[in-house]
Amino acid sequence: MKKVIVFLVCAVVLLVGDTVHDKSGIELPSFDAKKDYEQGIAFHKNKEYDKAFELYKKACDGGDMRGCRSLGVMYDNGFGVEKNEQKAVELYKKACDGGDVRGCQNLGVMYEYGIGVEKNEQKAVELYKKVCDGGEMFGCYNLGTMYAKGSGVEKDFGKAAELYKKACDGGHMRGCGSLGFMYDNGNGVEKNEQKAVELYKKACDGGEMRGCFNLGIMYEDGNGVEKDFGKAAELFKKVCDGGDMRGCYNLGVMYANGNGVEKNEQKAVELYKKACDGGEMHGCYNLGTIYANGNDVEKDFSKAAELFKKACDGGEMNGCRSLDLIYRLKVNE
């Protein structure tokens, strides 16, 4: 009953546009500030960034920390204003200090990667912990990842698994996928491929493409589940359509070999190209090999060399080796 009474009192005060404080001393936003924030969101969604920026600023100045955080996002990305990462950091800090845990989350990312501020992984860990303790599951996920990598904290797979589980149980699908990976590899938990499959499926069903991709690998290899190339191809297609180029590449391999789908090298070429254009260097390498060998395309060493170079520059060592071979062949012609 006490909570209801407090809420009603606050509602009355906010309706008259005053600023009040809760028992923690954090300033609560005025009714007008909350309204400005909500209107700003609507304009932001319509990409009317100038109007959104103006409303976020009014909301922030009126004490709605969500407005400060969203204003930071505008500066962070250059939406409706010149990009200014230092200003974004300042606004995320204001939001975080004012009790907006999503502001803390964004500030943590800036510290983790050194964007607009000197890189400080320990500070990022501190902020992610604050976010996680505040009930936001993406903070738990990010904190788990810091423990898994040993960034800003001593590496601890057990702690990472615990945090991924908390995130997963709280509805954060990346947490489920990452926990599945821990079970898949026996990191911080006893290896259990069936459990990994279950978690990858949960992540995939929740729209997390990395979960779908890993689930596809499990079906392709028959780990934790009966081998099923058709199911693997179906999952790789979902991943590809979802914008993850690894799915496009793997689906291309399925078409090239006729696994789970009817063999179709033209389709494989199309998928490798999509993967390559999307930054998946394995796709560039395989496409280069097709041009070098003249498989279902006209043989073109120049095109092959171009693709091998792109793959090599992107860190695909097979591309480097193949590029060297082509140069040697040209020298000996």
Which pLDDT band, with edges at 50, 70 and 90, does 26 fall under? very low
pLDDT tens digits, one per residue of 249-291: 999 999 999 999 999 999 999 999 999 999 999 999 999 999 9
Identity at 188, one-letter amino acid code: G
Identity at 13, one-letter amino acid code: V
C-alpha to C-alpha distance for 149 and 63, rounded to whole angstroms: 37
- Beta carbons of 172 and 166 less than 8 angstroms apart: no
Mean pLDDT, rounded, for 173-194 = 97
- Beta carbons of 168 and 175 less than 8 angstroms apart: yes
Mean pLDDT, rounded, for 9-36 = 46
- Crossing angle, helix 49-61 and helix 31-45, to 10 degrees? 160
C-alpha to C-alpha distance for 230 and 219, rounded to whole angstroms: 9
Largest CA distance in the chain: 89
CA nearest to 282, candidates 321, 246, 256, 326 = 246
Instruction: Report the 10 Å Cβ neighbour count for 169.
Output: 13
CA nearest to 86, candidates 76, 99, 94 = 76
pLDDT tens digits, one per residue of 38-90: 999 999 999 999 999 999 999 999 999 999 999 999 999 999 999 999 999 99
What's the pTM value of the predicted model, to 2 decimals? 0.83
Q: Which residue pairs from 277-280 have beta carbons closer than 8 angstroms and sit at least 24 positions apart in sequence?
A: 278/243, 278/245, 278/248, 279/245, 279/314, 280/245, 280/246, 280/248, 280/249
What integer best gives the mean pLDDT of the chain?
90
